[in-house]
Structure 1
């Protein structure tokens, strides 16, 4: 959740200040993910790359249309990518659109039970994270919420790479214990 707010704040910086550093960070994070998403949707590598680039240009030009109250940064960008792919398919097959084409189907509504399970899991993780020692919590935040590699964390914090890896491993062990203990309480 913290990462979602972080990326939303970066889009707001792009919209408000034309912040190039914020855009570069968004580009570096989302462009390869959008390309992968588009390839999973059936686009070939060249088309996926082209659409991902187009989405990022749209982000730069139309960041002011993003409303963090309505969606997360990733939801907004993936929706733009999906729509761009549909537009391309329509241009290719203007006379013969296949109504069963997966890209043209509406996104299925999330299962309420799955959504509630995800929220409960998120609450448990958040509560367990709060119980970690600060040095473990920080490396987990950098690795999994900011998306930095272990080497980048070591560079940023000045810690040896082995220490970063150890703290992450210890944090995961502790998180597992805390979450399992919390789940055991719910079962009783």
Structure 2
């Protein structure tokens, strides 16, 4: 590859990503999907996934691209690198899931409905957890909410907040310790 050509060939995809990020532009996403989804599927099949699993995973990857477009940074990676990194991570998740052992005794049929005391207990625990989260120092509470309610990784939180990754990890660890003690 000639030096600088990646930036040139990536420029249209960067523009599409910006339109997705800034305007939630469906046409831009359709173009990105049309180009990358078949390539992601082929990548997954070559890495050992069944074609039907690769198809589902490729669609999931593209949904992630749509949902997390705000995290794309063209100064850090090309669009293709970013998309295929998501695909690689999703493939690793699938492999981990497939390696989990199945429980020996699966119960079939409808599960029992919780009785009223179980419902009350779950509601009380939910309220206690909400109060414990609300009582966290703001710097910790905000990060816990981003990590668990926003479903963001520590790296994504660091990118969004501009805080060092170590600070993010420390604050979340301290917050989880406080929550553990509060829920005892």
What TM-score, normalized by structure 2, do the two folds share?
0.50
Q: How far apart are the structure 2 equivalents of 1:5 and 1:41?
A: 28
Deviation sequence 1:37-78 (CA, Å, 0-9, x none): 110101110011011000110111110011111000000000
Q: Please show how residues 76-91 of structure 1 align to structure 2 within 5 Å.
A: 76-91=82-97
**1:55-74 to 2 correspondences below 5 Å:** 55-74=61-80
Partner in structure 1 of residue 19 of structure 2: 13
The CA RMSD over aligned residues, in Å, is 1.0
Deviating beyond 2 angstroms after TM superposition, the runs of 4 or more aligned structure 1 residues are none
Tell me by how many angstroms 1:6 deviates: 1.2
Across the two proteins, how many residue pairs are aligned to each other? 95
- 1:37 pairs, out of 27, 43, 51, with 43
Matched ranges for 1:103-122 at <5 A = none
* Alpha-carbon shift at residue 9 of structure 1 (Å): 1.6
Q: What per-residue deviation string (whole Å, max 9, x for no partner) do you get for residues 1-52 of structure 1?
A: 3221211221111011101111000000000010001101011100110110
Instruction: Point out the structure with max Rg over C-alpha.
Output: 2
The counterpart of 1:46, out of the listed 46, 52, 56, is 52
Which runs of 5 or more structure 2 residues have no equivalent in the other structure? 1-5, 102-184
Structure 1 residues 70-105: Cα deviation after superposition (integer angstroms, max 9, x where no partner) = 00000000010010010011111136xxxxxxxxxx
Deviation track 1:156-187 (CA, whole Å, cap 9, x = no partner) reads xxxxxxxxxxxxxxxxxxxxxxxxxxxxxxxx
Superposed CA deviations along residues 109-134 of structure 1, whole A, max 9, x for unmatched, are xxxxxxxxxxxxxxxxxxxxxxxxxx
SS of 1:71's equivalent? coil
- 2-structure distance, mates of 1:75, 1:17: 22
Secondary structure in 2 aligned to 1:90? Answer: helix
